[in-house]
Structure 1
Amino acid sequence: MLYPLYVWKDKDSAYGARFPDLPGVFTAADELNDLPAMAQEAAETMYEGEAHIPEASSIEKWRDMADYAGGFWMLVNIDRSKINTKPVRLNISLPENLLRDIDAFAKSHQLTRSGFLAQAALKAMAQ
């Protein structure tokens, strides 16, 4: 998901950056090209174990605010699937033979049923 990232650079310092949509997520990098990776890492750290990650807004929502004067904006793709959020219990129904096959496959790959289903869902959505 593309999030607006506000970037600034003071003389003799690294680039600083923050996400208005992700309160508390700040990052820095010596090279501008390194900011997207550093931003992903900062978002993962800040929201690890949280149940909700705020949605992205547009740059237009923020650009005229005084807090964001003197810098510039970037759109940064934050891969929300890499953020380990709080697990949620759910109840689903599957054919018995499919569930048996899932459990056997998961066990043979040292996974839990939930871990396997989560990986399968992420893989399917990435295609």
Structure 2
Amino acid sequence: MKYPIAIEPGGDKLAWSVVVPDLPGCFSAADSGVDEAIENTKEAIELWIEAALDAGEDVPKPSSITNLQKKKEFKGCIWAIAEIDPALLSDDIERVNISLPKRVLARLDAKAKSAGENRSAFIAHMAISA
């Protein structure tokens, strides 16, 4: 998934600021230039998407840069694309094989049972709530 980002140039004493027009409230900044700005924004987008999905909200599709460039609030911005792994949006089930010591596995199963969940659901719940 490729999100257009608007980068406001910085300088020696001013950070480069970035906004992701398609994701309300998603922004980032960098001190050392465009490359750092793009990388920092990728992380901000991933966190925004994760929070939206955890809250049961829809994730907006990316817009076209051409349409966004026409908006006056982005005048003077440098445009770039932040590419995000589409797996972040996937709810597809994937079987995985993990290795744990038996004592850890026994503890995991006991905690899952006391929470009323199976092993997989308990692990997923822990990962999401952490």
- Specify the TM-score bucket, using the shorter chain as the normaliser: 0.5 to 0.7
Q: How does 1:18-97 map to 2 (within 5 A)?
A: 18-31=19-32, 32-47=34-49, 48=51, 49-51=54-56, 52-82=58-88
What displacement does 1:70 show?
A: 1.4
Please tell me the residue identity of whatever aligns with 1:22.
Answer: L
Q: Alpha-carbon deviations, 1:64-118, whole Å to 9, x = none?
A: 11100011110110224346x9x7xxxxxxxxxxxxxx6xx758666616979xx
Paired residues, number: 100
Alignment TM-score, normalising by the size of structure 1: 0.62
Q: Secondary structure at the match of 2:66?
A: helix
Q: Which consecutive segments of 4 or more residues in structure 1 shift more than 4 A? A: 105-111, 113-116
Alignment TM-score, normalising by the size of structure 2: 0.60
Q: Determine the C-alpha separation between the residues in 1 that align with 2:75 and 2:2.
A: 21
The runs of 5 or more residues in structure 2 that have no matched partner are 106-118, 125-130
8 Å Cα contact 2:9/2:78 also seen in 1: no
The change in CA–CA distance for 1:53 and 1:45 in structure 2 (over 3 A counts) is same
The change in CA–CA distance for 1:30 and 1:107 in structure 2 (over 3 A counts) is closer
Q: Determine the C-alpha separation between the residues in 2 that align with 1:46 and 1:6.
A: 16
Q: Determine the C-alpha separation between the residues in 1 that align with 2:82 and 2:68.
A: 15
Q: Determine the C-alpha separation between the residues in 1 that align with 2:97 and 2:10.
A: 51
8 Å Cα contact 1:36/1:77 also seen in 2: no
